Amino acid sequence: MSPMPNLATQLGPLTLSTPFLAASGTFGYGSEYAPIVDLSKVGAVVTKSLSVKPREGNPTPRIWETPAGMLNAIGLENCGLQSFIDHRVPELAGLPTKVLVNVVGDSVDDYATICSALDKIDAVDGFEINISCPNVKHGTRFASDPKDCERLMKALAPTTKKLLMAKLSPNVTDLAEIARAAVEGGAQALSLINTLIGMAVDVKTRRPRIANVTGGLSGPAVRPVAVRCVWQAAKACPGTPIVGIGGIRSLGDALEFFVVGACAVQVGTTNYLDPDLLNRLPGEFDAWLAQENLGAPSHLTGSLKL
Ligand SMILES: Cc1cc2nc3c(=O)[nH]c(=O)nc-3n(C[C@H](O)[C@H](O)[C@H](O)COP(=O)(O)O)c2cc1C
């Protein structure tokens, strides 16, 4: 039973307790935050990207603070599928929230291997298919070419009965085309955005601030780009649930995403600065809906007036 029944949110086959999720790579595997965040109020925890084999990630430095944001090039460091099943799944099983596993791969087979293996595991509620990481070689191949994107989703759809959500990149020429391809291929929901490609330089040493040279820009600096992307994806794929991500640090920020078409949002970089935000958002949203006489959150989704 949701702690706030009014905020229950449908995301494909899943009913989330609230529309406020924790973004991949910024919330560990969920259990790390359990002492400070009431996970029953978090609609879902999205795990760090998971690959078939363990990955060490990129060399350091991998993080650089920027005005109103940060650059990161972690490079998808993770424990790999088998260790995830052995060590992480038992922890996830006890969490009072839904768990979406963020999946990454170098090939269609990699993605399919993870989805098939985890489809049998009850503690996993769905998949966020990461086709949009800018910090690894070929990380955005499936998010840049609509044919590749559709082919990947078509291959994954039969591997699972759980939620299949595609996480899209802002680093593309025609976002609407990619969004439509993901849905045509079988994605039941879309989440966006992943980070924007950025760069910072130490002028004294003439070296890049990040060993990978470029990194992914996130935080409030990217929010207007993210709001624009969600708006375009919502127009391109009417009826498909959309999860907005990018620079949310207050209820007001989240509301912008709902108005342009999101049914839920994820909080990312702000978890480092203000981990209490995910505790506050549901109560603040509930009060705001009552004050605006709006009833259900769904009345807000896509209410943009032009
Ligand atoms: C340090 C860091 C690590 C991240 N790791 C991942 C990841 O493993 N997989 C993924 O899909 N997105 C990853 N992201 C991207 C976030 O999930 C999110 O899409 C992006 O940061 C924009 O949201 P924000 O501005 O609220 O952070 C990462 C972001 C940061 C800051």
Domain of 162: which CATH number? 3.20.20.70
- How does strand 215-218 pair with strand 264-267? unpaired
The answer to whether the predicted template modeling score (pTM) of the entire model surpasses 0.85 is yes
Measured in whole angstroms, the distance separating CA 194 from the mean position of its chain's CA atoms is 7
30 Cβ below 6 A of ligand 1: no
Kindly report the CA angle at 117 between 169 and 82, in degrees rounded to 5? 90
Which pLDDT score is estimated for 143? 81
215 Cβ below 6 A of ligand 1: no
249 Cβ below 6 A of ligand 1: no
Express each pLDDT in 25-76 by its tens digit.
Answer: 999 999 999 999 999 999 999 999 999 999 999 999 999 999 999 999 999 9
Confidence of residue 80 (pLDDT cuts 50, 70, 90): very high
- The number of distinct structural domains making up the chain is 1
Confidence of residue 139 (pLDDT cuts 50, 70, 90): low
Residue 210, in any domain of the structure: no
Catalytic residue, candidates 79, 115, 133, 149: 133
CA of 17 to the centre of ligand 1 (A): 22
- Can you tell me the mean pLDDT for 145-171? 96
Confidence of residue 4 (pLDDT cuts 50, 70, 90): confident
Which pLDDT score is estimated for 132? 78
- Can you tell me the mean pLDDT for 99-126? 96
Average pLDDT score, the chain: 95
CA of 206 to the centre of ligand 1 (A): 27
Tokens representing 165 are 């959500």
Q: Does 3 score more than 70 pLDDT?
A: no
Express each pLDDT in 212-258 by its tens digit.
Answer: 999 999 999 999 999 999 999 999 999 999 999 999 999 999 999 99
Q: Does 135 score more than 70 pLDDT?
A: no
- Dist. CA 110–CA 131, nearest whole Å: 12
Residue 262, in any domain of the structure: yes
- How does strand 264-267 pair with strand 242-245? parallel
The verdict on whether 149 is a catalytic residue reads no
- Dist. CA 210–CA 255, nearest whole Å: 33
Q: Does 95 score more than 60 pLDDT?
A: yes
Shortest-distance atom of ligand 1 to CA 46: 17
Mean pLDDT lowest for which of 2-6, 167-171, 218-222, 296-300? 2-6
Taking each continuous run of H as one helix and of E as one strand, the counts in the chain are: 10, 16
CB 152 within 8 A of CB 143: no
DSSP 194: -
Identify which of 96, 35, 19 has the alpha carbon closest to the alpha carbon of residue 282.
19
Kindly report the CA angle at 25 between 34 and 191, in degrees rounded to 5? 105
Which value, to the nearest 10 degrees, does the dihedral of the CA atoms of residues 28, 29, 35, 37 take? 80
Backbone phi, then psi, for 69, in 5-degree steps? Answer: 175, -165
Residue 68, in any domain of the structure: no
Q: Does 189 score more than 80 pLDDT?
A: yes
Domain of 104, in residue numbers: 5-55+76-196+218-299
- How does strand 69-72 pair with strand 215-218? antiparallel
Residue 165, in any domain of the structure: yes
Which pLDDT score is estimated for 144? 85
167 Cβ below 6 A of ligand 1: yes
CB 271 within 8 A of CB 33: yes
Identify which of 132, 133, 130, 128 has the alpha carbon closest to the alpha carbon of residue 99.
128
Identify which of 130, 93, 98, 94 has the alpha carbon closest to the alpha carbon of residue 114.
130
Sequence-distant (6+) residues with CB within 8 A of 249 are 220, 267, 270, 273, 274, 277
Confidence of residue 295 (pLDDT cuts 50, 70, 90): confident
Residue 170, in any domain of the structure: yes
Residue 282, in any domain of the structure: yes
